[in-house]
């Protein structure tokens, strides 16, 4: 994906960004209160370095706990001097319909759904976003509330000459818990339920065949609850969430480790269940 680095340079540029955050409906009231105070003080008094240092100090407790809204979090990163890579949609589109295809998978928090696919040969682009609900242009807070009907998902553009949809399906089933209808791993809520969103009739056929194969394998005692639905509108998530594994590598590795430990345990139990035929193994 094409990246741009935003560097705050002038008071005018900073004020413009603060204005946009104040008007952003996703900005929480406490954040808006702090941003409005900073804007007013900058306009009345100037003294940019002092006002921004004060704002950084006020936002810091929420930033440390990763409790800022996504756009404010990006602003805070720039405030403390870190480059923020902006994911654009220019590269996330099908440019060669003859050999490129779109796939959409939901399997828990999209932070952990990007790297497994993006690092495969033949992947053109992976975008984190929201889909499956009726709300247009949903924000992270709206989806995270569980009331929007959307799930967190990844939209993948891939080159069919290098990697097939069947390959993507095989990978998908390796990185989810297909028996958990109320979330995935430590992520709880309907917004994290596993769903395969299909974009073609052939994807429907392959997805249903793969799901039946998993059911017939007797790997899981609990029912397989993964849904297969036709793809609807896919709404890109905020920049903060895009390629999270690159932006927050330490935090991502900790989440990934816990997820892998659980999956390893489940897969081993599944193999043992099949090998010795224990119907009640788990």
Residues annotated as catalytic (active site), given as ranges: 109
Using CA atoms, how far residue 193 sits from 48, 134, 176, in Å, is 45, 17, 10
**What's the CA gap between 94 and 140, in Å, rounded?**
25
CB 145 within 8 A of CB 275: no
**What's the CA gap between 157 and 91, in Å, rounded?**
10
Q: What share of the chain is helix, strand, coil (3-state, %, to 5)?
A: 45, 15, 35
Using CA atoms, how far residue 215 sits from 15, 163, 266, in Å, is 56, 25, 15
**What's the CA gap between 267 and 191, in Å, rounded?**
24
Closest by CA position to 136, among listed 56, 235, 230, 205? 235
Tokens representing 36 are: 């409005």
**What's the CA gap between 1 and 243, in Å, rounded?**
10
DSSP code at position 259 = H
């Amino acid at each position: 994906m094409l990246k741009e680095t935003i560097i705050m340079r002038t008071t005018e540029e900073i004020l413009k960004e603060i204005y946009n955050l104040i008007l952003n409906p996703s900005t929480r009231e406490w954040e808006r209160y702090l941003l409005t105070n900073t804007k007013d003080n900058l306009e009345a008094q100037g003294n940019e370095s002092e006002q921004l240092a004060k704002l950084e100090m006020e936002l810091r407790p929420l930033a440390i706990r990763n409790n800022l809204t996504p756009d404010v979090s990006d602003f805070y990163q720039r405030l403390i001097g870190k480059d923020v890579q902006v994911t654009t949609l220019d590269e996330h589109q099908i440019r060669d319909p003859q050999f490129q295809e779109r796939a959409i998978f939901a399997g828990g928090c999209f932070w952990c759904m990007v790297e497994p696919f993006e690092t495969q040969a033949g992947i053109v682009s992976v975008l984190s976003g929201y889909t499956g609900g009726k709300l247009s242009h949903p924000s992270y807070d709206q989806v995270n509330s569980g009331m929007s009907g959307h799930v967190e998902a990844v939209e993948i553009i891939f080159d069919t000459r290098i990697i097939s949809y069947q390959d993507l399906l095989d990978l998908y089933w390796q990185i989810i818990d297909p028996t958990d209808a109320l979330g995935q791993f430590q992520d709880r809520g309907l917004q994290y339920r596993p769903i395969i969103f299909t974009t073609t009739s052939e994807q429907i056929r392959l997805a249903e065949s793969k799901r039946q194969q998993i059911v017939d394998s007797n790997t899981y005692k609990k029912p397989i609850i993964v849904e297969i639905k036709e793809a609807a509108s896919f709404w890109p998530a905020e920049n903060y969430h895009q390629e999270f594994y690159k932006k927050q590598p330490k935090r991502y590795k900790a989440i990934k480790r816990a997820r892998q430990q659980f999956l390893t345990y489940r897969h081993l139990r599944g193999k043992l269940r099949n090998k010795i035929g224990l119907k009640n193994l788990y």
